[in-house]
Amino acid sequence: MVDLAREAFSTNNFSLAADIYERTITENGPTSELFLGLADSLARTGLFAKAFESYTNAYRYGKVTPEKLKHLVIGLIDTVKQDISNSGNTTARKNCMFTCGSCRGLLMDPVTIPCGHTFCRKCLERDVSKTCEICNTVHYRLKVRQISSNVVLTNLIEKWFPNECKASQLKREGNEYIAKMDFENALRVYTQAIQMAPCDHLLISNRCHAYASLDKFQESLADADLVVDLRPDWPKGYFRRGRALYGLAQYEDAAVAFLQCLALDQKVSSAKDYLSKALDKILSVLPPDDPKAHALEQRSNPTMLRQLVESNFSKKGLLLPERDIQSTFNDLAKIVKDTITTANNFSSEPTPQGARCFTQELIHKREESSFSEQQLIEGAAASELAGIHQTITKYNSMPDCSEIDHVELEQKTKPRTHSPLSRKRSRIPSTAQCPVSPSHSSPNKVLRSFVTTTAASTNSSVLHGATSTAAASSCDIPVRTRAKNSGMEPECTDIEDLECGLCYRLYFEPVTTPCGHMFCRKCLDRSLDHTVTCPICKGNLAEYLAERRQSVTDAIQLIMETYFGPEYAERCKTNDEEMIELAKMGSEQQSEIPVFVCTLAFPTIACPLHIFEPRYRLMIRQCMESGTRQFGMCMHTNDEDGFSDYGVMLEIRDVQYFPDGRSVVDTIGGRRFKVLSRSKREGYNTAKVEFILDTAVEPQDVQIVNELQTELHAAVSAWVGQLPSFNQSRITQHFGALPALDAQQAGPNGPKWSWWAVAVLPLDQRVQLAMLRMASLKDRLVALKKVLNYVNRRNSR
């Protein structure tokens, strides 16, 4: 029977397993092992109330180690876990400017990986999965050591966050003490660092760890709470809290905290271990050898889950069967999810808003629990500001008014200390947001900022309620609002820090090289057309080029959008205009087209090209990016014009790139054109042209033309047929076989077979060019006939 139950369990047939265990217990009498099996089965089906009862029984009948609670832990995690691929989460986490996507702290030694996301070097080195934590791209060949730090980001961070940078230095020092188990000194250094960067959750978390290591759990708990408030979406904060609570023997609270941690990240194995330990403590309140244990066995024991639920959730939850407990867990899951989605940027406000959201929810949940005085105050402040946030919401919905929004907010919350009217001023941080330099934190300002924060968060939770998708809420926050909330110095915002070193404009689609330098994607592409080295450091970019990477450096993109909104919009506009300019090429009569000077091409005939010259690499790229996918092909001439007066448009069918940036372009001839005037563009030739289209065959000529076609097609076929087979196969390889005589009259470009004949016959290019100019099919056929006669005559001689 037990084997059967185990088998059912191992095949995920948990309810069946539970049934069998239950029957076995009634038939064979209770044992610890059977109860454990039953409990595990129930836990995996999500019937936690029953499961806890069984676990309690298992503890009563024998010794159970924490490891045995594995399935309970899995079951609990399954209930609360968040789908990471869930839209809200990723959208929010993409919004990282100065924040590491992994540790969520200020970027230290930022490294931009091929997908365009940036992490601390340490965080990347620690992660062996080679998977980007933001976009989940797997970089199989990623070698962090071979990527240099992102120069632009490093400079920006040092300039904009000097105090936080110093604090990060101290953090390193502290971490070294931790490694040496010198917790006292670590504590001292962390505290010093926290004074410089009071909102750095990593620092507080580390100090929290140091306290816990010194068994100072009360202090540790205080720090953990701070961390969770700062970064409600950061799993480790909950782990720290759980660890402190565990140390304080508050096992129920600890279990909840660990569960919150695991809800955010199911992979934290230490949290799993501690969760089972905490559950073990809850379930085995008294050690089995305790004299009281026996007495307890006889007594009806309230299930521990009830206690757990009672002390942590609402009073309603515990009294009722599974469904309610289930929904309690669902509630927990929902809170956690809401919290994640509000996340999170180092310098933008979602942090406190998330915290706010979370605390408020908790206040609702814990109707009778003892929330702290501070929470009470915050709650009050929030409701007082309920009126204000409507105003804010109103202005927020009008991005153009975001500066007014700033004024409004300032006015309503606190007497203004400065005039926010000038544009530069409007970028001033509201001082409260993290990171804040201690020098800014005069009590008055702290108070003001506190109110502002509350307002902002209230506002955002309103947004939350209104729009179910979190993505919307984090994106809807207007640019200026975010900007003003950053902790950076206004005088630091120098647009030249974000200018491409090649075009001297604001970056557009900034890309980062492995050597850590940044350029507009198009600028770097152009430079790579000429030489495969970094324009700044001359580092080899062959591998970079071969990968044909296009990913934009997210952080910089977002910084520009946030802090230089108007300038960035202007830059986008310029780019759009440039693209429109390119896209116009060849679209209208008498328009300007790019000209490839190489050979004669013919309508409807394929023309493969090997592209290696820098200027033509650029030309092809522009043709592809603008979507025109066509350019003019003209013959080289020795006069000062440089290329022939007539040519053919080539349409790009396919481009195959070599790793070194050269390419083979498969094209086919289209319209013919006459050059009206010549010009140049970024190194290649352009021309204003007039397209040549065949005139319709006169009704009286139709008969003649058709006869000519039949006769000449046969003649061409015969001519090819008499060629040596080697020549024949070469012709077929290059131009294909002689196209069939199309019964329908070909379009404005003329019948395909006739161009095939012009291309294949041994003609002087001047003759071919002359044929190209003829807009009358009849004239062309007559000319072709003459040519064929001449060729045949010469052959027969």
Partner 1 sequence: MSGLPRRIIKETQRLMAEPVAGITAVPDEHNSRYFHVVVAGPSQSPYEGGLFKLELFLPEEYPMSAPKVRFMTKIYHPNIDKLGRICLDILKDKWSPALQIRTVLLSIQALLSAPNPDDPLDNNVADHWKSNEKSAIEQARHWTQTYAKSSSNNL
Single out the segment in contact with partner 1 by CB under 8 A; choices: 18-26, 131-139, 153-161, 521-529: 521-529
Q: State the Cα–Cα distance between residues 688 and 700, nearest whole angstrom.
A: 36
Among residues 41, 339, 527, 709, the one that binds partner 1 under rule CB under 8 A: 527
Single out the segment in contact with partner 1 by CB under 8 A; choices: 408-416, 455-463, 595-603, 681-689: 681-689
Phi and psi dihedrals of 677, rounded to 5?
A: -155, 155
Tokens representing 788 are 């064929």
The two beta strands, 606-611 and 663-681, are: antiparallel
Q: Is the Cβ of residue 315 or residue 538 nearer to partner 1 in the bound state?
A: 538
Alpha-helical regions (H) of 138-250: 151-160, 162-179, 183-196, 201-213, 217-230, 235-247
Among residues 101, 242, 516, 535, the one that binds partner 1 under rule CB under 8 A: 535
Min dist. Cβ of residue 531 to partner 1 (A): 8
- Given CA atoms 750, 752, 754, 759 in this order, what sign does their dihedral have? positive
Min dist. Cβ of residue 574 to partner 1 (A): 9
Q: Is the Cβ of residue 490 or residue 683 nearer to partner 1 in the bound state?
A: 683
Q: Is the Cβ of residue 78 or residue 578 nearer to partner 1 in the bound state?
A: 578
Q: State the Cα–Cα distance between residues 171 and 168, nearest whole angstrom.
A: 5
Min dist. Cβ of residue 683 to partner 1 (A): 4
Min dist. Cβ of residue 613 to partner 1 (A): 11
Count of CB atoms situated within 10 Å of the CB of 556: 23
Closest CA to 36 of 51, 19, 15, 26: 51
Among residues 523, 620, 758, 760, the one that binds partner 1 under rule CB under 8 A: 523
Tokens representing 535 are 């324009």
Count of residues near partner 1 by CB under 8 A: 23
Draw the binding track, 682-701, toward partner 1 (x: CB under 8 A; -: no contact). Answer: xx------------------
Q: State the Cα–Cα distance between residues 44 and 659, nearest whole angstrom.
A: 52
Cis ω before 287 (30° cut-off from 0): no
Closest CA to 550 of 575, 517, 584, 520: 520
Q: Is the Cβ of residue 388 or residue 498 nearer to partner 1 in the bound state?
A: 498
Residue listed under structure tokens 């999500």: 46
Draw the binding track, 613-632, toward partner 1 (x: CB under 8 A; -: no contact). Answer: -xx-----------------
Q: Is the Cβ of residue 248 or residue 532 nearer to partner 1 in the bound state?
A: 532
Residues 6+ apart with CB under 8 A from 13: none
Min dist. Cβ of residue 388 to partner 1 (A): 43
Among residues 526, 621, 671, 752, the one that binds partner 1 under rule CB under 8 A: 526
For residue 151, state whether it binds partner 1 (rule: CB under 8 A). Answer: no
Q: Is the Cβ of residue 77 or residue 534 nearer to partner 1 in the bound state?
A: 534
Alpha-helical regions (H) of 96-144: 121-126
Checking 437-445 for CB contacts under 8 A at 24+ apart, the result is: 437/162, 437/163, 437/196, 437/487, 438/163, 438/195, 438/196, 438/198, 441/198, 445/417
Single out the segment in contact with partner 1 by CB under 8 A; choices: 101-109, 147-155, 319-327, 522-530: 522-530
Residues 478-517 that bind partner 1 (CB under 8 A): 501-505
Q: Is the Cβ of residue 533 or residue 728 nearer to partner 1 in the bound state?
A: 533
Q: State the Cα–Cα distance between residues 446 and 455, nearest whole angstrom.
A: 14
Q: Is the Cβ of residue 530 or residue 785 nearer to partner 1 in the bound state?
A: 530
Residue listed under structure tokens 């899995």: 74
Among residues 81, 306, 445, 530, the one that binds partner 1 under rule CB under 8 A: 530
> What single string gives the DSSP state of each residue in 523-581?
HHHHHHHH-SB-TTT--B-HHHHHHT-----HHHHHHHHHHSHHHHHHHHHHHHHHHHH
Q: Are 661 and 543 in contact (CB under 8 A)?
A: no
Q: Is the Cβ of residue 338 or residue 529 nearer to partner 1 in the bound state?
A: 529
Q: State the Cα–Cα distance between residues 255 and 275, nearest whole angstrom.
A: 5
Give one word for 780, left, alpha or beta, with left for phi > 0 and alpha for psi -120 to 50: alpha
Among residues 292, 636, 680, 773, the one that binds partner 1 under rule CB under 8 A: 680
Min dist. Cβ of residue 726 to partner 1 (A): 43
Q: Is the Cβ of residue 396 or residue 685 nearer to partner 1 in the bound state?
A: 685
Tokens representing 225 are 């709470």
Q: State the Cα–Cα distance between residues 9 and 233, nearest whole angstrom.
A: 34
Q: Are 139 and 124 in contact (CB under 8 A)?
A: no
CA torsion angle for 20, 25, 31, 34 (degrees, to 10)? 10
Among residues 195, 311, 393, 533, the one that binds partner 1 under rule CB under 8 A: 533
Residue listed under structure tokens 């005039």: 419
Among residues 681, 688, 778, 785, the one that binds partner 1 under rule CB under 8 A: 681
Q: Is the Cβ of residue 364 or residue 538 nearer to partner 1 in the bound state?
A: 538
Residues 575-594 that bind partner 1 (CB under 8 A): 581
Radius of gyration of the chain (CA): 37
Residues 536-565 that bind partner 1 (CB under 8 A): 536, 538
Q: State the Cα–Cα distance between residues 176 and 128, nearest whole angstrom.
A: 22
Min dist. Cβ of residue 556 to partner 1 (A): 18
Min dist. Cβ of residue 473 to partner 1 (A): 37
Closest CA to 356 of 343, 369, 347: 343
Draw the binding track, 640-679, toward partner 1 (x: CB under 8 A; -: no contact). Answer: ---------------------------------------x
Q: State the Cα–Cα distance between residues 88 and 473, nearest whole angstrom.
A: 9
Q: Is the Cβ of residue 467 or residue 679 nearer to partner 1 in the bound state?
A: 679
Min dist. Cβ of residue 154 to partner 1 (A): 18
Min dist. Cβ of residue 504 to partner 1 (A): 4
Min dist. Cβ of residue 687 to partner 1 (A): 13
Among residues 109, 529, 554, 694, the one that binds partner 1 under rule CB under 8 A: 529
Q: Is the Cβ of residue 204 or residue 541 nearer to partner 1 in the bound state?
A: 541
Min dist. Cβ of residue 592 to partner 1 (A): 11
Q: Is the Cβ of residue 46 or residue 539 nearer to partner 1 in the bound state?
A: 539
Q: State the Cα–Cα distance between residues 700 and 256, nearest whole angstrom.
A: 94
Give one word for 675, left, alpha or beta, with left for phi > 0 and alpha for psi -120 to 50: beta
Q: Is the Cβ of residue 229 or residue 592 nearer to partner 1 in the bound state?
A: 592
Residues 204-243 that bind partner 1 (CB under 8 A): none
Q: Is the Cβ of residue 365 or residue 530 nearer to partner 1 in the bound state?
A: 530
Interaction site with partner 1 (CB under 8 A): 501-505, 523, 526-527, 529-531, 533, 535-536, 538, 581, 614-615, 679-683
